[in-house]
Amino acid sequence: MFLDDLSAALPEGRLIVDLDVVDRYLHDEAEWAPYERPLAVLRPRTAEEVQIAVQLCVRHRTPVVPRGAGTGLSGGANATRDCLVVAFDSMTAIKEINPLERLAVVEPGVVNDDLRNACAAEGLWYPPDPASSPWSTIGGNVATNAGGVCCVKYGVTKDYVLGLQIVTGTGELVRLGRRTAKGVAGYDLAALMVGSEGTLGVITEITVRLRPTRAPERTVAGYFDSIVDAGRAVEAVAAQGIAPSALELIDRQCLLAVDAWKNMGLSVDANVVLLGRIDTPGSLGDDEAATMRAAFDKSGASWSAQSSDQAEADALFAARRLAYPALERLGPVLTEDICVPIRAVPEMLSRIESIATQWDTTIANIAHAGDGNLHPLLIAPHDDDAARQRAQAAFDDIIDAALNLGGTVSGEHGIGLLKMSGLAKELPPAVLDMHHNIKRALDPTNILNPGKVFSRSI
């Protein structure tokens, strides 16, 4: 009955029930996160079509699972039993780029890099740049409050969302936020939607803040024998009070995996590499780059340099972005996303090493080290259930260690399915109740991505 009503209410070709096609929309990239078969996949082309679908879902009590490009790493876009997956890969319009107001208006299916390239043509810049930026969409980035390489200086997605159009859990199509530089008219409901992982509303349009194109960056690289020494270097850079436009960590396992896959000619002779960038203009930028390099050396770098070869520097940063898919070729990869205070980075990296030994689990490391957002990558051989169980135990221990050090269970990937137990540990009962009350108020029939984020039902 539901599918008949939905098919009759929407233009032809929007609703997909063919199993071979539906299978492409079952899950995101989160390893071992459960998923089930949906009733169908909807590929809308307008916000009004999304509204019609949600209204029918409310009437029939059918769960709605919004989906961007499926690049998520927490299971937030995974299909649940008999749900309707709403996939935004047909809503890809960049509706407006406004140089005067420095904003852009986009549909949720716009790929991050496509927006960045379109803005660059106007002398503007959209800063949030997750490693998945060549593939991930703005809608998905908003749903998880995605970060990225440059967020150490420029902030994460929430810092750039001015306004949203959403379909609510009661089927209303509404606009939240503003287009003005400032505004405090009522609660900041647009901000509430950022990072809500589709549990409070279905995003159909996003208005984002833009910046002017920034100055060219200087790249500083440091090689370290010890991952803990690299962590100390991160702390030392922060102690100097400089603001790098990037400070990334990548270990030798990741570099070797990328080189084996892409033949990039990486010849780094180090266990760990720190890649820093400075975009401060003029002589002050030169001074900051020198200060960063000195911090690397003081912390035990076996080699450091400011790159004079832009192609070489870009290759190292490209390797950082390719680390996850390169390691996937070796076996299933369970990706962590903890974030700890800067002062705790060396200790957290040390604990990750100990946890890897304790659980006999291979853990490669990449990190947005400059803001304490660490991504240990737990690798298990194919079809090795015992190794999978050890990796999952190590995953839980890493979360506990991060919380013990004053950190959080997720810096940018979201809670989804994989971090629900961690969220329950991090938030006090009274705060969890506040979340549940907001969810009930905005989604009274509990159809919006139910079973995600919270470990107990709403």
Reported CATH class of domain 2-87: alpha beta
Q: pLDDT, tens digit, for every residue of 167-192?
A: 999 999 999 999 999 999 999 999 99
Tokens 């520097």 belong to 313
CA dihedral 187, 191, 195, 199 (to 10 degrees): 40
Contact, 322 vs 261, CB < 8 A? yes
Would you give the DSSP letter of residue 213? Answer: P
| Bridge partners, residue 220, by sequence | 276, 306
Those residues of the chain that have pLDDT short of 70 are 267, 458
For CATH 3.30.465.10, list the domain ranges present in the chain: 94-212
Phi, psi of 48 (to 5 degrees): -65, -35
Instruction: Give the pLDDT of residue 47.
Output: 98
For CATH 3.30.43.10, list the domain ranges present in the chain: 2-87
Q: pLDDT, tens digit, for every residue of 263-313?
A: 877 767 789 999 999 999 999 999 999 999 999 999 999 999 998 777 878
Would you give the DSSP letter of residue 225? Answer: S
Instruction: Give the pLDDT of residue 315.
Output: 81
Question: What tokens does 415 get?
Answer: 């809670």
Contact, 77 vs 92, CB < 8 A? no
Q: Give, to the nearest 10 degrees, the angle between helix 385-404 and helix 345-358.
A: 150
The Cα–Cα gap between 229 and 233 comes to: 6
Nearest in space to 258 (alpha carbons), one of 312, 307, 313, 329: 329
The Cα–Cα gap between 19 and 275 comes to: 45
Chain center to CA of 279: 23
Tokens 């169908």 belong to 40
Instruction: Give the pLDDT of residue 282.
Output: 94
Reported CATH class of domain 331-416: alpha beta
Would you give the DSSP letter of residue 214? Answer: P
CATH of domain 215-311: 3.30.70.2190
The Cα–Cα gap between 270 and 301 comes to: 10
Reported CATH class of domain 94-212: alpha beta
The Cα–Cα gap between 190 and 413 comes to: 19
